[in-house]
Amino acid sequence: MYQVKDYVVYGNEGVCQVEAIEMMDFTKSGKERPYYVLQPVNRNGKVYTPVDTKVFIRPVISRETAEDLIKQIPSIKAETGGPTNAAILKNKYTETLQENNCEDLIQLIKSIYHKGSVAEEKNKKMGQTDKFFLRKAEDLLYGEFAVVFNMSQGKVREYVEGKVDEITANS
């Protein structure tokens, strides 16, 4: 069970801070059960979820894990094939987002950037499905890194790109 003030990754909401754990009865059954009151770090509002939720929830990764992931970015391979059907693509991307695994998010981001580069070489634009899921994957990954590194989400991309540039220059 998480504690008040803990940072967690909750479903597709991204990083949230546990504000409270309260007994509530949202079902009006007369039977209260414990709920987390979560404050998303990147938007206003609250999320209420049962402590025993079926929605994906995990602790935010450690700084050391985040630094190790950044070091691995150059070796994480982009998928160069894969489905082109929009519905299949959407399902595949959605599954990756729901698992909310940082390494998988990095691979998804790299794969979509690769697809965008290929499209650009053919004087085409990136598809709307790719744009939407790229933005969502970056929000989830950089949102978590922002909490881990105690910096604004806007600075995270710059930080990560700088670190990756250093790694590739020293290889």
- Residues 94-130 pLDDT 10s: 999 988 899 999 999 999 999 989 889 999 998 899 9
Is pLDDT of 84 > 90? no
Range of the domain at 14: 7-58
pLDDT of residue 81: 76
In a domain, 1, yes or no: no
Q: Could you give the strand order of the β-sheet that contains 47-50, starting from the edge strand earlier in sequence?
A: 47-50, 33-40, 14-24, 7-10, 57-59
In a domain, 129, yes or no: yes
Q: DSSP 3-state helix, strand, coil percentages of the chain (rounded to 5)?
A: 50, 20, 30
Distances (CA, A) of 41 to 8, 10, 23, 100: 10, 11, 23, 16
Report the alpha-carbon distance of residue 106 to residue 135 in Å, rounded: 12
Arithmetic mean of pLDDT over the chain: 92
Percent of the chain surpassing pLDDT 90: 68
- pLDDT (tens digit per residue) in 18-30: 999 999 988 788 8
Report the alpha-carbon distance of residue 14 to residue 129 in Å, rounded: 20
pLDDT of residue 29: 81
Angle between helical axes of 63-72 and 128-149 (0-180°, round to 10): 140
Assess whether 52 and 74 both reside in one domain.
no
Q: Is 93 helix (H, G, I), strand (E, B) or coil?
A: helix
In a domain, 2, yes or no: no
Is pLDDT of 82 > 80? no
User: What would the mean pLDDT of 51-61 be, rounded to a whole number?
Assistant: 94
Assess whether 130 and 50 both reside in one domain.
no
Assess whether 97 and 25 both reside in one domain.
no
Assess whether 70 and 119 both reside in one domain.
yes
Q: Which residue has the higher pLDDT, 137 or 171?
A: 137
Assess whether 30 and 74 both reside in one domain.
no
Is pLDDT of 68 > 90? yes
Assess whether 54 and 98 both reside in one domain.
no
In a domain, 111, yes or no: yes
**94 phi and psi angles, rounded to 5 deg:** -60, -45
What total of structural domains would you count in the chain? 2
Q: What is the pTM of this model?
A: 0.88
